[in-house]
Amino acid sequence: MNDGDAESARLAARALADGRPTAWFEELYAAAAREEITMPWDRTRPSALLADWLTGSGTGRSAVVVGCGLGADAEFVAAHGFATTAFDISATAVPTARQRYPTSPVDYRTADLFAPRDGWAFDLVALTRAEIGSFAEHGLDPVAIEQADDGIPRWRAEFLRSAP
């Protein structure tokens, strides 16, 4: 089996050079599903940043996990009571997550962050400040990006899709 980190870097570079910046995710997950590589972020625990931040209950609220991969973060958010939707651009990652968590309440979907579904609105979207800022590079115009003033590194952002 090949090293997943090296393979992901190679696939990402090729996809960017080809003008298909997100294509490498599916290629990577598909190679891992065929057991050709070791998936570099195959984990069963939530990301440390999310686990440190999310300690309260989400009962009665909704959340979305962007780029859910194999589901660890989505399952963690759902375990805190959020009605959770999780999506990934990889058509292989989503069924793999569903297989890993067959009784999960998470609504796993294949979707593109920059082509959102009508009617999607969530109380919680867990992203870093750098990820929020990168939206402007993908046809979204920032209306407002504000840091919460409560001592916790949280951001609130609103974007509009650029005119074609």
CATH of the domain at 72: 3.40.50.150
Of residues 159 and 12, more confidence is placed in: 12
Structural domains counted in the chain:
2
Domain check: are 129 and 142 in the same one? yes
**pLDDT band (50, 70, 90) for residue 69:** very high
Domain housing 32: 1-42
Domain check: are 133 and 64 in the same one? yes
Instruction: Centre a 10 Å sphere on the Cβ of residue 28 and count the other Cβ atoms it contains.
Output: 25
Q: What is the mean pLDDT of residues 3-23?
A: 84
Q: Kindly report, residue by residue over 97-122, the tens digit of the pLDDT.
A: 999 999 999 999 999 877 767 777 77
Q: What is the mean pLDDT of residues 57-85?
A: 93
Domain check: are 4 and 37 in the same one? yes
The predicted structure's pLDDT at residue 79:
96
Domain check: are 51 and 19 in the same one? no
Domain check: are 58 and 91 in the same one? yes
Q: Distance between CA 149 and CA 72 in Å, rounded?
A: 29
Q: Distance between CA 32 and CA 113 in Å, rounded?
A: 22
The predicted structure's pLDDT at residue 45:
92
- Taken in order 35, 36, 37, 41, the sign of the CA dihedral is negative
Domain check: are 9 and 69 in the same one? no
Domain check: are 37 and 93 in the same one? no
Return the SS3 of 157.
strand
Domain check: are 90 and 26 in the same one? no
pTM over 0.85: no
